[in-house]
């Protein structure tokens, strides 16, 4: 462990180790076929932009992660088990390499992204939409 995530180089190191596992994982290998075929180097800059934006608010990622996952899912169906495995590998990799507020944020954001992406791709309603459907009031507006 080298301390907290602090810069793009840290994000890149994290992603290289994570994808080194995910690309050969028995469950995740099929959804990551395109990344393997094109090579990690073609995918890495976009993923670094995404995680830099998530962790440090850089605004360097301008794409739609949902559309990318939607396209991949049309070619290689995946679901909750895949997101659970992705998250397990993500947390393990973060924990092995980093500790601190940004590392914690990477894990929290990873869990939120996996949950949201799975819900949207599977057509399940969001927690907020389901609460509204059931007549459960949301949080009180802040003043």
For residues 49 and 78, the answer to whether their CB atoms sit within 8 Å is no
Q: Where are the domains of the chain?
A: 8-122
Close Cβ partners of 133 (under 8 Å, ≥ 6 residues apart): 125
Range name among 30-44, 51-65, 97-111 with the lowest pLDDT average: 30-44
Tell me, what's the pLDDT at 141?
Answer: 46
For residues 40 and 23, the answer to whether their CB atoms sit within 8 Å is yes
> pLDDT tens for residues 85-141?
889 999 999 999 999 999 999 999 998 888 877 787 776 655 555 555 566 655 544
d(CA 87, CA 92): 8
Average pLDDT over all residues of the chain: 81
State mean pLDDT over 37-61.
90
Look at residue 39 and tell me whether its pLDDT is greater than 50: yes
Does the CA dihedral 45-104-25-121 come out positive or negative?
A: negative
For domain 8-122, give the CATH number.
1.10.490.10
């Amino acid at each position: 462990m080298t301390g907290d995530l602090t810069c793009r180089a840290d994000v890149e190191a994290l992603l290289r180790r994570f994808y080194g596992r995910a690309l050969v994982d028995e469950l995740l290998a099929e959804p990551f076929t395109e990344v393997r075929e094109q090579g990690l180097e073609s995918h890495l800059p976009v993923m670094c932009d995404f995680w830099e934006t998530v962790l440090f608010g850089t605004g360097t990622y301008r794409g739609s992660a949902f559309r990318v996952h939607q396209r991949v899912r049309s070619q290689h169906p995946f679901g909750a088990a895949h997101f659970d495995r992705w998250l397990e590998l993500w947390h393990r990799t973060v924990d092995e390499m980093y500790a601190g507020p940004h590392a914690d944020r990477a894990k929290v954001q990873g869990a939120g992204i996996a949950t949201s992406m799975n819900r949207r791709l599977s057509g399940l309603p969001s927690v907020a939409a389901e609460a509204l459907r059931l007549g459960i009031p949301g949080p009180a507006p802040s003043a």
